A and B are shown apart, each in its own frame.
Chain A
Amino acid sequence: MTEEIIIAGFGGQGVLSMGKILAYSGIMQDQEVSWMPSYGPEMRGGTANVTVILSDNRISSPILQEYDTAIILNQQSMDKFEKSVKKGGTLIYDPNGIIHPPTRKDITIYKVEAAEEAAKMQSAKSFNMLVLGAFLKIKPIVKLENIIKGLKKSLPERHQHLMPMNEKAITRGMEIIYEVK
């Protein structure tokens, strides 16, 4: 199994940490992982993205041009990465702020209204975990227990008390994702 993922959105949405939790979860189940962020000038101006690869085999390139799954959280990223999803691949997006929804017919497209749900939960910080939960519903490549372990490893000591909130958000994310036909 190899899953090549790009997560792209605004800085501050938790894009990089979502990727880190996913990568840590892969380690928890003995997989090879890589996490390659955009660290260039663009991250200083707003957009952020990270390429995460989980594989049973040695990972070749940590930088890719095509992805099995793209998780897209703003319009700029939609413009940039919709075309980069492999034929037959998966695109997950939050419609919040999206003016031009994806149009491809050769991939499966899912919507997760995570920003809206985070607002309902009165917990803006839960946003990325809602999205992560949604992704795991569609692509159960890591076991939930390993995600929890990965989350625990990724959170600094001072944030460990946020574990229950994050777990709840992951579970809720799994419930609110739906396919766009």
Chain B
Amino acid sequence: MAEYRLMKGNEVIAEAAIRFGCDGYFGYPITPQSEIMETLMLRKPWEETGMVVLQAESEVAAINMVYGGAACGKKVLTSSSSPGISLKQEGITYIAGAELPCVIVNVVRGGPGLGTIQPAQSDYFQAVKGGGHGDYRLIVLAPASVQEMNDFVGLGFDLAFKYRNPVMILSDGVIGQMMEKVQLGDFKPRWTDAEIIKMHGSWATTGKTPDRKHNIITSLELDSYRQEKFNHKLTAKYKTISENEVRFEEISCEDAEYLFIAYGSSSRICQKAIELARAKGIKVGLLRPITLFPYPTKKIQSMLSKLKGILAVEMSAGQMVEDVRLAVEGKVPVEHFGRFGGVIPTPNEVVQALEEQIIKRK
């Protein structure tokens, strides 16, 4: 039988990275995600697998170390929390512009500015709509459990290399600090240099040999027409991702007249709210987007004919709700309910919001 462990979400990110054959972690401490680097430092993977773990002098340095590692075809990872992720944005857009794979973990806390160290989901816009400059997208995965913190490290690297695109794991202080039971993956060896050349030699800077041209990693293109052509290439890639990589979970949706849409820790609170609401006879279900980009737009559209209203629940002043409204196009009422600034909504508040903002609005 599989062995289960009791671990914090943050600790699991570290353990999963080692087990997935990650080559390097570069970070700078910030609450509520410091356990990621602390766990790596305790585990000393450089002795076991050769994985590099480095506390950089700043978040800016850390993301540029990731940029360098990714350029060499290595599996590299960084993590931070909201203010630190803001600092990384320049590096992230360069990585996206250079079409490099990497995984970035954001264990979100309340903002803006230094904000609070408590959980929030107020970095949705930053993760999904840009954050850095230029026409680029991150693939954004939203774990709702400690198990998914484990699973999404592997999935994140798989998607990052499949599309040569940075992947963000958008977690929050609840999932990062909580302990749950988790089944860790088996150990995978790190790629050898020969394997990296075989798989990624067409683009990675693995050392030029006489039989091929230089592989140049850059996000600079001074010829506007060539830059536009490259932007078209990126757009086509994002379209392919949108068509093939949408992930979501439906809970109690079979007979639902009302729908919560929530990701991450808010989706957990909504599950409790469903128990409470159904005890009162309210038929409500939950759609939990697992990928935030690509967003399950078509899935939402396919559910509308049976729905009387949708409540988007998120720990922000209203960010993801905009994507819900874009999907719904005014066909059913959509409202937002959130607590923010580090305050976590209670399941009762969510049920009350559903009753007041959606059910009684007629």
Contact = CB atoms under 8 A, between A and B. Distances in A.
B4 to A, nearest CB: 5
Interface stretch (B15-23, B88-96, B174-182, B221-229): B174-182
A153 B181 CA distance: 13
B120 to A, nearest CB: 12
Contact of B179 (A23, A40, A60, A64): A23
B6 A40 contact: no
Nearest to A4: B272
Contacts of A63: 174, 265, 268-269, 344, 346
A61 B265 CA distance: 8
A151 B354 CA distance: 42
Given A27-B181, A61-B272, A62-B178, 4 more contacts: A23-B179, A35-B179, A35-B180, A63-B265
B177 A37 contact: yes
A33 B180 contact: yes
B313 to A, nearest CB: 12
A36 B6 contact: no
B181 A36 contact: no
Interface in B236-258: none
Interface of B: 4-6, 31-32, 116-118, 173-174, 177-181, 265, 268-269, 271-275, 342, 344, 346-348
A61 B347 contact: yes
Contacts of A35: 6, 178-180
A24 interface: yes
Interface string A60-90: 1111110000000000000000000000000
28 contacts: A23-B6, A27-B4, A27-B6, A27-B181, A33-B179, A33-B180, A34-B178, A35-B6, A35-B179, A36-B177, A36-B178, A37-B178, A41-B117, A59-B180, A60-B268, A60-B269, A60-B271, A60-B272, A61-B269, A61-B272, A62-B178, A63-B174, A63-B268, A64-B346, A64-B347, A65-B346, A65-B348, A153-B6
Interface in A122-144: none
A34 B179 contact: yes
Nearest to B181: A27
Contacts of A40: 116-118, 342
Interface string A8-28: 000000000000100110010
